[in-house]
Chain A
């Protein structure tokens, strides 16, 4: 697993433990069953990951989870501009790690 992917997957795990403890396994099972993927999908295709989370928990909760993930990572993504989406997080990580 690449460094950037590892960082994002870890942040998702931490965010889920904070926001929805116990739901990691439910979300993991949902991603596996519907897309044959794990949390790494967030790095590979953030939009598809968000859609999958929305289908399971609703769009509002998906947005809340997205914002918590952004919040957990913002200290390590530099100070340039505001980050509002998972897509922007992934782009920023890719730039930092040259992936």
Chain B
């Protein structure tokens, strides 16, 4: 069965979790997130956004400028803001300000309790990691452990792996069960966006790649390798 790459991500993220959306600058990952959340949100009882360093406010501002229904897609989410500055104007449901990874995860855990049937979106962990590199190696496994405690949860991490050292990349890759890479290819002044399935339970799709373009209402994929393009 041929599967649209976006459908592939939603399907596999529902099967096993966490899912790492490893993006590069220029890949328009915000639009990918918008479409993923639009498809996935209705499948879960709750939707929790964990936003480090104002990540959510940056992303929603960008999406607002592109899509009319951004607030509808993200409405009813439970927003946890870690080290916010601008994001406080969105009235987050829970705010914590500290660089200490163990304290952050402890407070998230205490605030959320054990959630089941919940879609988690973790944003800005890379922003946090650039600012506090020594904390990243602690926070990644700890946050995965806390969010995975309940049943039937779906955890999506948006993270730019490229800017970190190999040990961080290894930690991130070892905790993510699905890994999708949103990269770019630059030819002159033109950017081509490229999705590659690095790891997923649908092994026949692993290492397949597609170029993609963002259209107003959808993402258009074209196959690079094999015949799975849709």
Known contacts: A63-B54, A67-B127. The answer to whether A19 contacts B163 by CB under 8 A is: yes
Query: In the complex, A59→B86 CA distance in Å?
Result: 13
Contact A20 B24 (CB under 8 A): yes
Interface size, chain B (Cβ < 8 Å): 28
For chain A, what secondary structure do more than half of its interface residues adopt (helix, strand, loop), or is it mixed? helix
Q: How far is the CB of B169 from chain A (nearest CB, A)?
A: 13
Q: A18-B163, A61-B25, A64-B163 are in contact. List 10 more A-B contacts (CB 8 A).
A: A20-B25, A23-B25, A23-B26, A26-B189, A57-B25, A59-B61, A60-B58, A60-B59, A63-B55, A71-B131
Contact B163 A57 (CB under 8 A): no
* Residues of the B chain whose Cβ atoms lie less than 8 Å from the Cβ of A23: 25-26, 184, 186, 191
Q: What are 6 A-B contacts defined by CB distance under 8 Å?
A: A20-B26, A22-B186, A26-B186, A64-B127, A65-B25, A68-B130
Contact A58 B131 (CB under 8 A): no
Contact B62 A64 (CB under 8 A): no
Proximity string of chain A (20-62) to chain B, C-beta cutoff 8 Å, 1 when within and 0 when not: 1011011001000000000000000000000000100111110
Q: How far is the CB of B125 from chain A (nearest CB, A)?
A: 11
Contact A63 B127 (CB under 8 A): yes
Write the residues of chain A forming the contact surface with B, with a CB cutoff of 8 angstroms: 18-20, 22-23, 25-26, 29, 54, 57-61, 63-65, 67-68, 71, 84
**A-B interface pairs (CB < 8 A), number:** 68
Contact B163 A68 (CB under 8 A): yes
Q: How far is the CB of B30 from chain A (nearest CB, A)?
A: 5
Query: In the complex, A65→B61 CA distance in Å?
Result: 17
Contact A71 B130 (CB under 8 A): yes
Contact A59 B59 (CB under 8 A): yes
Q: How far is the CB of A42 from chain B (nearest CB, A)?
A: 16
Q: How far is the CB of A39 from chain B (nearest CB, A)?
A: 16
Contact B191 A26 (CB under 8 A): yes
Can you list the 8 inter-chain pairs with the closest CB atoms, starting with the nearest?
A: A22-B186, A20-B25, A59-B58, A61-B25, A60-B58, A67-B130, A58-B62, A29-B189
Query: In the complex, A65→B162 CA distance in Å?
Result: 12
Query: In the complex, A19→B25 CA distance in Å?
Result: 7
Task: Kindly name the residue among B53, B62, B85 whose own CB sees the greatest number of chain A CB atoms within 10 A.
Answer: B62
Contact B58 A22 (CB under 8 A): no
Query: In the complex, A61→B189 CA distance in Å?
Result: 18
Closest to B56 in A: A60
* Residues of the A chain whose Cβ atoms lie less than 8 Å from the Cβ of B186: 22-23, 25-26
Query: In the complex, A67→B52 CA distance in Å?
Result: 13
Query: In the complex, A65→B126 CA distance in Å?
Result: 11
Query: In the complex, A23→B189 CA distance in Å?
Result: 8
Query: In the complex, A57→B182 CA distance in Å?
Result: 14
B188 CB–A CB distance under 8 Å: yes
Q: How far is the CB of B31 from chain A (nearest CB, A)?
A: 9
Proximity string of chain B (19-45) to chain A, C-beta cutoff 8 Å, 1 when within and 0 when not: 000001110111000000000000000
Proximity string of chain B (188-220) to chain A, C-beta cutoff 8 Å, 1 when within and 0 when not: 110100000000000000000000000000000
